[in-house]
Amino acid sequence: MEGIFPDRVEAGRLLGVKLSKYAGRDDVIVLGLPRGGVPVAYEVARALRVPLDVFIVRKLGVPGFEELAVGAIASGGVRVLNEDVARALPNAVDIIEAVTAKETAELQRREQSYRDGRPAPELAGKTIILVDDGLATGATMRAAVKALRQRGAARIVVAVPVGPPDTCREFEDEADEVICASAPEFFQAVGQYYEDFSQTSDEEVRELLARAAESEDRPASA
């Protein structure tokens, strides 16, 4: 089968090679979408010798119909709304505010947990390489791109190991550059392209971010 990766580590190493032109640049930061995107992003950041952080996106599900998203919130207090869904809701303002409050609390909890007290990075004016372990519908990645535009990112590169061709193409209109390492024609789910697609834990996310921060703080050897 096309595009089989042993695991997220190997997928990240492959992406790192494809992104080599960004290596060593002080205006570049790699952001992983938790949780599964972080092990991939860690390898990309390590290969490029640039900082790593997380960018958390939380879907705003309609109460009772959680799979229906009225929007999303992202790190930095950014909210992106789906106006079509919002218009169809009775008491839309109250519903959106209540769901936003609930998901903001969870987003902040995750940020504090993952960063372990480290400050969030400054993203305005930066080249952002936004990494996940794959694209399916692309909804989370789309919300992340919109949120980063609102945060003033200078350039946004969407980088994933695998995704359906049409979704990868759609991002060419939204991001400044798109790297889909593999875009198989008969795509069904991200997990089918990994031999090991076991769930990434919060603990693993914390550990990888701490390791990346430690190596960033360590002075380069002469």
**CA dihedral defined by 198, 200, 204, 209, rounded to 10 degrees?**
130
Q: What would the two tokens of residue 2 be?
A: 């096309």
From residue 55, how far is each of 76, 122, 144, 221 by CA, in Å?
9, 12, 7, 30
Tens digit of pLDDT for each residue in 1-41? 455 899 999 999 999 999 999 999 999 999 999 999 999 99
Alpha helices for 6-82 (secondary structure H): 8-18, 37-48
Conformation bin of residue 49: beta by default, left when phi > 0, alpha when psi is -120 to 50: left
Pairing type for strands 52-54 and 57-62 reads unpaired
Average pLDDT across the chain, whole number: 92
197: three-class secondary structure by DSSP: coil
Identify the band that residue 69 occupies on the pLDDT scale cut at 50, 70 and 90.
Answer: confident
CA angle at 144 for the pair 64 and 44, rounded to the nearest 5°: 130
For residues 75 and 147, is the Cβ–Cβ distance under 8 A? yes
| Mean pLDDT score, 81-97 | 91
The predicted structure's pLDDT at residue 222: 34
User: What are the distances in angstroms from CA 60 to CA 80, 107, 137?
Assistant: 9, 12, 16
Q: Which amino acid is at 200?
A: T
What architecture does CATH give domain 58-115?
2-Layer Sandwich (3.30)
* Residue given tokens 């007290």 in the structure block: 117
Tens digit of each residue's pLDDT (9 = 90 or more) over 104-162: 999 999 999 998 888 889 999 999 999 999 998 888 899 999 999 999 999 999 999 99
Token pair listed for 36: 């599964």
CATH class of 8-56+124-215: alpha beta
Question: What is the C-alpha to C-alpha distance for residues 125 and 222, in angstroms, rounded to an integer?
Answer: 30
- Give the pLDDT band of residue 217 (cuts 50, 70, 90): low
- Which residues does 43 contact at the CB level (< 8 Å), separation at least 6? 8, 9, 11, 12, 13, 15, 16
**What's the pTM value of the predicted model, to 2 decimals?**
0.90
Please name every residue paired with 59 in a beta bridge, in sequence order, or none if there are none: 72
pLDDT score at 4: 86
How do the domains of the chain map onto residue ranges? 8-56+124-215, 58-115
* Structural element, H or E, at residue 137: none
Residue 76 has pLDDT above 90, yes or no: no
